[in-house]
Amino acid sequence: MTVSTFTRLGGATATDFGLTALVAGVATVGTAALTGGRGIDGLGYLLLAGSAIPLLFRRRHPLATLAATVLVAFSYDLIGYPSAFYTLPIGIALWSVVDAGLRWVGVAVAAGVVAAFLAVGVALGRGHVTDLTNALWFAGWLVASLVLGEVTRARRAYVEQVEQRAIEAERGREEEARRRASEERIRIARELHDILAHRISSIGVQAGVGAHLFDRDPEQARRALIAINGASREALQELRATLGVLRQVDEPEPRTPSPGLAQLDGVIADAAASGVRLTVAVQGERRELPSGVDLAAYRIIEEALTNVVRHAGAATARIAITYGPAEVEIEVDDDGVGGGQGGSAATGGNGLLGMRERAATLGGELEAGPRPDGGFRIRARLPIRGEP
């Protein structure tokens, strides 16, 4: 039978072949060395060497391997050959049984083997386990094999548990990365909506004003065209800055800061150029805000003014910014028809949804609705202690 046949039948590895050869050599050479070869014939050496062969199948058939090694050792003992290393294969087979998870089967087999050797030795008066002392020595050897098998099984289980935890941790990191990527895509989409909605709305209104006044007031039409040019250029710049985070090449850092309340003048100028009279009131100590809060405040005002220009039909609007010790409040009022003409604020469209999401992301809140005396009001409260 070839090595490949053994491997196919018993699942043996190179380690198993090496262990089998080592045990066979120790059993034969060690026994011959201790006894001087006295009392051992060819059959005895054949039993000593052959007792190790079942170890090739110990991984796939641990119980059958243990039974075979016990049978060979029992035969060697009954014939009366000298005692030495003939029980070594039993110990290794017993270790393999416990290592395979058959702990209590191994304990039962070990007790049965000791009892059988002792019973036969006492009854027939031959063999090497003929009294209680020899039985205890034999049992101690088998118990050591049981303990070794339990130790190796526990160690392998611990290593597998550690590897499983590492796999789960890696899977958790991948899921977290996917979640963050999804949140980033949502944030970018919201940024694009805010940028384009405001700028394109401003361009549309200015284009309408220019077309309407082209013949009657060329100067006013010229100012509208200049405003369109500036709004389109700013929209393109902001669009490039926002989409830049999606590029996978090294690029220089942007030279302009992220939009914030400090850049609010441009938004106010766009709305004023559309014919809306704006007033701005600031209460409290103006100070630098966390970047997320500053950006959210800017975008909320920008979206609110976009709704005023596009849908409200308002003549005047008021922006109130109140700096508190732990939050900043933003309020945008107009005297128009509110969102009832299809504006996003009234219908709960993307504009109002985006504003609410921005406020909620920071732990704040946003209210929007018609005013009792006419017009529309948007009020947002944004905590400023720390980033989201």
Tens-place pLDDT, residues 10-22: 567 888 888 888 8
In a domain, 211, yes or no: no
In a domain, 38, yes or no: yes
Residue 319: the pLDDT is 92
In a domain, 141, yes or no: no
Rounded Cα distance, 89 and 111, in Å? 16
Residue 331: the pLDDT is 93
In a domain, 172, yes or no: no
Residue 350: the pLDDT is 58
Q: Where are the alpha helices (DSSP H) in 36-131?
A: 42-50, 62-79, 88-99, 103-124
In a domain, 334, yes or no: yes
Indicate the number of domains in the chain.
2
Structure-token pair, residue 163: 């590897």
In a domain, 174, yes or no: no
Give, in order, the Cα–Cα distances in Å from 12 to each of 205, 296, 324.
Answer: 82, 66, 76
Q: Which of 219, 10, 187 is nearest to 19 (CA)?
A: 10
* Final residue of a structural domain among 77, 108, 130: 130
* Final residue of a structural domain among 130, 147, 166: 130
321-343 per-position pLDDT tens digit: 999 888 999 999 888 765 443 34
Least confident of 45-59, 241-255, 304-318, 356-370: 241-255
DSSP lists the bridge partners of residue 380 as 330, 366
Domain that residue 368 falls in: 276-388
Query: pTM of the prediction?
Result: 0.43
In a domain, 206, yes or no: no
Q: For tokens 């049984």, what's the residue?
A: 97
SS3 content of the chain, % helix, strand, coil (to 5): 70, 10, 25
Residue 124: the pLDDT is 74
* Final residue of a structural domain among 114, 130, 146: 130
The CATH number given to whatever domain includes residue 305 is 3.30.565.10
Helix or strand or coil: residue 371? coil
Structure-token pair, residue 153: 């099984």
Tell me: pLDDT of 379 over 90: yes
Contact indicator for 374, 335 with CB cutoff of 8 Å? yes
